[in-house]
Amino acid sequence: MTDKLWGGRFTAKAAKWVDQFGASIGFDQQMAQEDLEGSLAHVAMLGQQGIIPQADADTITAGLHQLQQQLAAGELTFTVANEDIHLNMERLLTDLIGPVAGKLHTARSRNDQVATDFHLWLRHRLPELMQALSDLQSVLVAQADQHADTIMPGYTHLQHAQPITYGHYLLAYFEMFQRDYERFAFNQQHTDILPLGAAALAGTTFPIDREFVAAQLGFSAVYHNSLDAVSDRDFALEFLSNAAILMQHLSRLAEELILWCTYEFNYIEMSDAFSTGSSIMPQKKNADFAELTRGKTGRVYGALMGLLTTMKSLPLAYNKDMQEDKEPVFDAYTTILGSVHIFTGMLDSLTVHEERMHDATIRDFSNATELADYLATKGVPFRKAHAIVGELVLHGLQTGQSLQDMPLADLQAAAPEIDQDVYAELSSEAAVNRRTSLGGTAVANVRQEVSQARALLAAR
């Protein structure tokens, strides 16, 4: 017989290296506090329901509280021999209060126990992540307000397209992170369901009270199917999917910031606190933290694909494969929380070269659409206006003239409808402020969106 808590029907011991391969204590010890929380709620129910004597429940509860204190003090030692956090805690409790500790496992299995721990772990951490996103959004709003009228090139295909404002640009990411926030808020709904009481897969013969346990642990609902309770990892997949989308947003922003602080763009400069240098080139100032976040995106994508692949063909109910569910979630959580904090500090401290941004819109022909729109208001069909302006752009490229520098006679030679008033509409400021349609880049729009964004954040 082995010395495992489950080893009654076994006659041979596994080799040490086999135990090490099968053990999860190396990572699931991160759920130690959640394991104790779940056990405290479970034993309270066992005592209340008369499933075990109240005196035994009180002894076990006292022992669990003592383990909580030791855990907080860093005094608990876990071993691979006890495989996972659940068996480690049971062994530690047994050493503390004796054989009565064995009654704690009445009417539960490690299958519903680990699912409960996992739900608790993520439920405890989602609010911290959502607060971090709110902090990042607050910085974006503050910067957007400050730069509501800072004109810069807007891009499509990484080519100058039309003038926008830096504030308008920042609010685009505010919207992305708002959707991220809402996805994690929805994720809470599926995390806030209690699996405990499903036992191994079929429920239990004991007269348990699952609603009592849910109330003790603060869950708003319980799983209504015992098979689903122990085999569901949708809440973890949702989290990783949300995390991957969040990292995609951060990676897009990182790419632009990396480009914009290069010598060629010079739109912004990173704070020294979020930059590094070169070991050989003294002049270098690298946007390493933006680059690192961009790189960590692949790590989070990998976590999502890994768990999707793990779960894709698993029959009901619990399978040992599902031991692979926690590491990617733990790692992704640490990665995205750190990345959000980095971007919050990085955006709050960077320097914006407003004049450089504005100057980049002067001779880039990004006002070509303004001229086409002008002609359309004069009755020229837009497709014809588009062709006329295209020819004027070609003429400007060949002669080194911008549209606003061309003599009126040259403009009228291409389109007699053009008059002197055209020049007032070809400035970058006019191009920006004429775009007052809902969602447009006009300064007044940006200020209104800033106000609405602040109201949204204040309501949380």
Q: What is the pLDDT of residues 84-115, one digit of tens each?
A: 999 999 999 999 999 999 999 999 999 999 99
In this structure, are 93 and 140 located in the same domain? no
Domain residue limits at 409: 368-454
* Residue 134 known to be catalytic: no
> Prior bond to 317 cis, omega within 30?
yes
Confidence of residue 6 (pLDDT cuts 50, 70, 90): low
User: Domain containing 408 — which CATH number?
Assistant: 1.10.40.30
- Type of residue numbered 145: D
Rounded CA-CA distance 300/241 in Å is 9
First to last CA, the chain: 57
* Residue 124 known to be catalytic: no
3-state DSSP of 27-90: HHHHHHHHHHHHHHHHHHHHHHCCCCCHHHHHHHHHHHHHHHHHHHCCCCCCCHHHCCHHHHHH
Q: Considering 278, 341, 349, 451, which one is annotated as catalytic?
A: 278
Q: What is the mean pLDDT of the chain?
A: 95
Last residue of a domain, one of 358, 391, 413: 358
In this structure, are 144 and 202 located in the same domain? yes
With left for phi above 0 and alpha for psi between -120 and 50, is residue 266 left, alpha or beta? left
- Type of residue numbered 320: K
In this structure, are 124 and 239 located in the same domain? yes
In this structure, are 50 and 177 located in the same domain? no
In this structure, are 194 and 291 located in the same domain? yes
16 in a domain, yes or no?
yes
Last residue of a domain, one of 76, 106, 136: 106
459 in a domain, yes or no?
no
Amino acid 452: pLDDT: 98
In this structure, are 257 and 387 located in the same domain? no
> Is the model's pTM score more than 0.75?
yes
In this structure, are 193 and 298 located in the same domain? yes
DSSP assigned state of 276: B
In our burial notation (b when 16+ CB lie closer than 10 A, e otherwise), range 403-414 reads bbebeeebbeeb
245 in a domain, yes or no?
yes
CA angle 204, 208, 214 (to 5 degrees): 115
In this structure, are 226 and 327 located in the same domain? yes
In this structure, are 130 and 99 located in the same domain? no
460 in a domain, yes or no?
no
Last residue of a domain, one of 324, 358, 392: 358
80 in a domain, yes or no?
yes
Q: Within a 13 Å sphere around the CA of 193, how many CA atoms are in the beta-carbon half?
A: 20
Q: Write down how long the chain is.
A: 460
1 in a domain, yes or no?
no
User: Domain containing 125 — which CATH number?
Assistant: 1.20.200.10
2 in a domain, yes or no?
no
Mean local confidence (pLDDT), 445-460: 97
235 in a domain, yes or no?
yes
Amino acid 77: pLDDT: 96
In terms of DSSP H, where are the helices of 81-225? 85-97, 110-146, 166-191, 210-217
In this structure, are 215 and 271 located in the same domain? yes
Report residue 88 as tokens: 């480690």
Q: Considering 157, 279, 313, 437, which one is annotated as catalytic?
A: 157
The pLDDT tens digits for 135-150 are 999 999 999 999 999 9
Report residue 423 as tokens: 């020049």
User: Domain containing 37 — which CATH number?
Assistant: 1.10.275.10
In this structure, are 324 and 249 located in the same domain? yes
Total domains in the fold of the chain: 3
Mean local confidence (pLDDT), 428-452: 97
In our burial notation (b when 16+ CB lie closer than 10 A, e otherwise), range 48-69 reads eeebbeeebbebbbebbeebbe
Amino acid 1: pLDDT: 47
Contact yes or no for 197/213 (Cβ under 8 A): yes
In this structure, are 269 and 188 located in the same domain? yes
